[in-house]
Amino acid sequence: MSTVDGSSAPQSPAESSLATSIFSAKSPADSDGHAARAAKWRFATQVVAVDSSDNAHGASSVPIFQTATFKGMDGQYDYTRSGNPTRGGLESHLARIYSAHQAFALSTGMTCLDVILRLVKPGETVLAGDDLYGGTNRLLTYAKSHGGVDVRHADTTDVAALIPHLGKGNNVKMVLLESPTNPLLKIADIQEISATVKAAAPDAIIVVDNTMLSPYLQRPLELGADIVYDSATKYLSGHHDVMAGIIATGNPQASKDIAWLINAMGSGLAPFDSFLLLRGVKTLALRMDKQQANAQIVANYLDALGFKVHYPGLKSHPKADIHWKQASGAGAVLSVLTDDTQLSERVVSAARLWGVSVSFGAVNSLISMPCLMSHASIPAHIRAERGLREDLIRLCVGIEDPRDLLDDLEHALIVSGAIVPNVDPSLLPSDKLAEVFRTNPGQWGIERARFFRRPNVEALIDGVSRGLALDGVKTIDSDIVVSAPGKVILFGEHAVVHGVTAIATSLNLRCYGVLAPRTDGKVAITAPDLEAEHAWEISSLPWDLVPPREGSAADEKLDPVLLAALEKLVAQDKPTKTGASASIAFLYLFMAIARESTEAPATTLTVSANLPIGAGLGSSAAFSTCVASALLVAHERVHVPDAGSIDPSHVDDVDSWAFLAEKVLHGNPSGIDNAVAVRGGAVAFTRAIEGKEGGMDSIRGFDSIRLLLTNTRVPRDTKSLVAGVAAKRAAEPHVVDPVLGQIQDISDEARGLLDGSTKTSRNGFVSRLEALMRDNHGHLRTLGVSHPSLEAVVNATAAAPFNLTTKLTGAGGGGCAVTLIPDTFDDAHLESLLANLRALGAEPYLTTLGGPGLGVHTRTPSDLSSTLVAAGPAGLESWASGLNAQWVHS
């Protein structure tokens, strides 16, 4: 151990041969670059890779040097108070995992605070939070009463509340933070506070008690703190069999001062306890993953029951965004209010598996009442002033099976009367009743006004284990790139409503989607064209509402409860109507598809299209197909072959899920748009009507034809146009019915041409389609759904020298028109036709009719999401063809 004048200051981990020897054990000169690779090891690797090389026998654990003294005059150690190899091994290891300049092991967490507070002189100020561990409050109160330190408390969740204390006259020497706080789980923005304090009071030291999260989940030194301490009795050791504390320092001055104090006071950790702590810390990441997954389950369960729960893993936490900016997990401590102190006491006493005990961080779950236990040393009136309520229950979650934890908790809630099953109350309290309630959840409502439904425990556990997986966040290995075409109705629009067959064909205007991995446990959508740009915590999605289902195809009907919950969730971000629909459709499929798999991968779906949105060209079906196919590929439920085409049964599955997404977007769609988007080519669709059977047949294999699609940019009202035709039919059946019959003949002939059953030459094929289009447009005019803007396009394209045939497509009344471009049509003419149409105020797109449906890229490089958006509509086609691997299609 060093002295404060630095004459024999302990080495920093970076300087220490002990710290570096682990990386050079095989190759002293590090000729294989191992040190550089080892320096990049992730936390779970670092924490288990303890360097034990400082011993003569090659012991693979750091041995216990159970000795008070060391012989000799010039060795590294003389006296265990000043330094001990077991403690030294622990300290070097901890410095590495804390990203610290140096770490020190002490006898308890409170000793750490005691040492740290000795850096403050009488008359100087310590500014601390207003929700903090009872023992911390006690020691601060002592520093005030016996040490002449000016101790002040402020709400550290609000940086502005600290500012009045930071002016020069306040003499602030130390700012002491907890985040999350114990026991209210309040969040302080460590980075912002550190920067604000440093700017206003450059000499002040930022100290963070990091016990609630451990360095696995939060490393305050990386956020600007100077000193961090941690009660190692908690997560670091993990088994409640050792008391210890750790101080980690961020700079040489802090290290020097702390080292001097520990030696002077004699508060260093004993060798045997150092050994125990070093043994425990190796499993920190493993334990914490399981503990916080369980904590999330418990928090979700209590939240679903209607209790007020404090936990940063809940989206409702007021500072969740700040927490997730600075920490990589929510931790495993939560607290909950019952609104009734005696009731809380009954809950705590009724728990059996949950041990009634102070402390937290061990592998066993604990339940406590802070005001009676860990925080009893804070006077009741101060607790009340600081909002620490007497009915607060703290839950410190361990590694048990979460079903048993929920069973025990639910039993305690029932027998204490905190939740009341809707049965004869004279039967309460009774173990039998709790059991009946647990095993027959469907039979019981819950009477207590705010409790409206019993959480589906299995679904809840399932959901959390997907979002907050035990081996880290689940995601996908690489980007999944998909695409799907838009469509035009070539024949039969309007007539289809009255039972006539409609023919729709794909276009090569497409929607593209990239599903990319994320590492933060969130799922997100980025769809600028649809005004959707949102991210959600996977673990806080309403997993318990996802209906169970069977088979690989989607359900036919949407689940109204899940839909309503997603509408509510999405509305929190105040999206536009289009953005909300796209987000809900995406989340619905994300959750419903994940329900059948083993995980819900943390991903972002980015979509962009060169299809006009909302122009009746199937843009929403192309989007729905991208969503469905990307998610099904992510779950390996659609296999992507290296070449050839996608398995037809997988194509059917994509179609069923895309149809479900279409139902989210449109309520009651016909299914024709998604059928075209998924299958490509053409689809003949007949609606079942008046006892006549309906059907949908896919037509594949015809050669694409150049198509000019012209958006008149005149908005249309589909509903009133459809109603107008119905009214006309009712008023003039003798006019309308023959027209419908002629349209049926057109569709039948077109179907024969497209499916190849009517044999003809290429030229004959195109010119016959043109003739059918001309006739069909005439019929639509008779039905009253054309519009001057559409007729202007018809006339412009029919004029010499173009002589082309145009037909309105879709609802009419504005919207789009389609013009076939024969193979021999002159390119220069095409250019001048485009100019003429633009001069009319229309928006022409040159595309092709027919062509592939759903496409999945076989092997894709990563990081495509940003290039997809940057490509913009005009660049999408070359973006897609520029990917250096093959597309496979339906």
Ligand X SMILES: N[C@@H](CCSC[C@H](N)C(=O)O)C(=O)O
Show the site string, 476-515: x = touches ligand X by CB under 6 A, - = not.
----------------------------------------
Q: Is 177 helix (H, G, I), strand (E, B) or coil?
A: strand
Catalytic one of 130, 131, 209, 226: 209
User: By the 8 A CB rule, do 639 and 650 touch?
Assistant: yes
Residue among 377 and 782 whose Cβ is closer to ligand X: 377
In angstroms, what is the C-alpha Rg of the chain? 35
Using the minimum distance from each CB to ligand X, give the nearer residue, 209 or 462. Answer: 209
Measured from the CB atom, the residue of 135 and 852 that comes closer to ligand X is: 135
CA distance 403 to 30: 49
Q: Which is nearer to ligand X, 231 or 698 (CB)?
A: 231
**Residue 514 has what DSSP assignment?**
E
Nearer to ligand X, 108 or 251 (CB): 108
- Name the burial class of residue 547, with classes exposed (0-12), middle (13-18) and buried (19+) by CB atoms within 10 angstroms of its CB: middle
Q: Are 618 and 673 in contact (CB under 8 A)?
A: yes
| CB of 305 or CB of 395, closer to ligand X | 395
- Return the range that interacts with ligand X (CB under 6 A); candidates 118-126, 237-245, 324-332, 353-361: 353-361
Q: Should residue 108 be labelled a site residue for ligand X when binding is judged by CB under 6 A? A: no
Cα 289 to Cα 329: distance, rounded to the nearest angstrom: 9
Report how many residues bind ligand X under the rule CB under 6 A: 9
Q: Judged by CB, which is closer to ligand X: 214, or 710?
A: 214
The nearest distance, CB 264 to ligand X, in angstroms, is 24
The correct pick among 55, 328, 359, 478 for binding ligand X (CB under 6 A) is 359
Least distance (Å) between residue 112 CB and ligand X: 12
Asked if residues 173 and 203 have their Cβ atoms less than 8 Å apart, the reply is: yes
Pairwise CA distance, residues 418 & 307, whole Å: 10
Of 87, 234, 663, 687, catalytic: 234
Which of 129, 135, 513, 542 is in the footprint of ligand X by CB under 6 A?
A: 135
Show the beta-strand stretches assigned E in 210-330.
227-231, 245-249, 308-310
Closest contact distance (angstroms) between CB of 113 and ligand X is: 11
Minimum gap (Å) between residue 348 Cβ and ligand X: 14
**Residue 457 to residue 437: CA distance in whole angstroms:** 13
Pairing of strands 227-231, 480-491: unpaired
Which element (helix H / strand E) includes 847? strand 843-849
Among the listed residues 30, 81, 142, 282, the single catalytic one is: 81
Half-sphere exposure in the Cβ direction for 219 (13 Å, CA): 17
Q: Which is nearer to ligand X, 182 or 365 (CB)?
A: 182
Work out which of 377, 718, 858, 886 binds ligand X, going by CB under 6 A: 377
CA angle 527, 562, 661 (to 5 degrees): 40
- Distance of closest approach, residue 361 Cβ to ligand X, in angstroms: 9
CB-nearer residue toward ligand X: 300 or 374? 374
Backbone angles phi, psi at 352, to 5 degrees: -120, -55
Q: Which of 137, 182, 608, 865 binds ligand X (CB under 6 A)?
A: 182
Identify which range of 36-44, 355-363, 434-442, 753-761 contacts ligand X by CB under 6 A.
355-363
Q: Whole-number minimum distance, CB 382 to ligand X, in Å? A: 15
Residue nearest to ligand X (CB): 374
Q: Is 209 a catalytic residue?
A: yes
Minimum Å gap between C-beta 410 and ligand X is 24
Query: What are the DSSP calls for 242-302, one per residue?
Result: ---EEEEESSHHHHHHHHHHHHHHT-BPPHHHHHHHHHHHTTHHHHHHHHHHHHHHHHHHH
What's the min distance (Å) between Cβ of 370 and ligand X? 7
**The only residue of 46, 181, 263, 374 in contact with ligand X, by rule CB under 6 A:** 374
Segment holding 128, helix H or strand E: strand 125-129
d(CA 246, CA 95): 10
Which helix (H) or strand (E) is 191 found in, with range? helix 190-200
Point out which span in 167-175, 354-362, 642-650, 679-687 binds ligand X (CB under 6 A). 354-362
> Per-residue string for binding with ligand X, 669-708, x by CB under 6 A?
----------------------------------------
Residue 250-269 contact track with ligand X, rule CB under 6 A, x = bound? --------------------
Alpha helices in 337-390 (DSSP H): 341-350, 380-385
CB 587 within 8 A of CB 541: yes
In the complex with ligand X, the residue whose CB is nearer, 238 or 844, is 238
Of the candidate residues 264, 337, 358, 830, the single one contacting ligand X (CB under 6 A): 358
List of residues 6+ apart from 560 with CB closer than 8 A: none
CB of 273 to ligand X, least distance (A): 17
First to last CA, the chain: 71
User: Residues with Cβ < 8 Å from 608, sequence gap 6 or more?
Assistant: 511, 512, 527, 528, 529, 868, 869, 871, 872, 873, 876
Which residue among 65, 133, 512, 845 contacts ligand X (CB under 6 A)? 133
Query: Measured between alpha carbons, how far is 347 from 543 in angstroms, rounded to an integer?
Result: 26
User: Is 234 annotated as catalytic?
Assistant: yes
Selection from 567, 597, 560, 583 nearest residue 467 by Cα = 597
Q: Which contacts (CB < 8 Å, 24+ apart) does range 302-305 have? A: 302/334, 302/336, 302/409, 304/453, 304/455, 304/460, 304/544, 305/413, 305/419, 305/446, 305/451, 305/454, 305/455
Q: Which two tokens stand for residue 589?
A: 């499929």
> What is the nearest approach in angstroms of ligand X to the Cβ of residue 230?
11
Strand partners, 481: 514
**252 or 387: CB nearest ligand X:** 387
> Looking at the chain, how many residues does it have?
890
Return the SS3 of 102. Answer: strand
Structure tokens at 792: 């202007």
**With CB under 6 A as the contact rule, which of the stretches 5-13, 50-58, 352-360, 836-844 interacts with ligand X?**
352-360
Q: What residues between 147 and 166 interact with ligand X by CB under 6 A?
A: none
Write down the least CB distance from residue 371 to ligand X, Å.
12
CA distance 844 to 846: 7
Considering only the stretches 214-222, 283-291, 357-365, 459-467, report the one whose residues sit in contact with ligand X under the rule CB under 6 A. Answer: 357-365
Residues 290-319 that bind ligand X (CB under 6 A): none
Which range binds ligand X by CB under 6 A, 97-105, 356-364, 470-478, 537-545? 356-364
Q: Which amino acid is at 677?
A: A
The DSSP call for residue 808 is E
CA–CA separation, 830 vs 844, rounded Å?
Answer: 11
Q: Which of 77, 98, 133, 588 is catalytic?
A: 133
Using the minimum distance from each CB to ligand X, give the nearer residue, 344 or 656.
Answer: 344
Q: How far is the CB of 380 from ligand X (least distance, A)?
A: 15
DSSP structural state of residue 427: G
Residue 378 CB, shortest distance to ligand X, in Å, is 10
Using CB under 6 A as the binding rule, the residues of this chain from 556 to 575 that contact ligand X are none
Distance CA 135, CA 371 (A): 12
CB of 104 or CB of 235, closer to ligand X: 235
Which residues are near ligand X by CB under 6 A?
133, 135, 182, 231, 358-360, 374, 377
Annotated catalytic residues are 81, 133, 209, 234
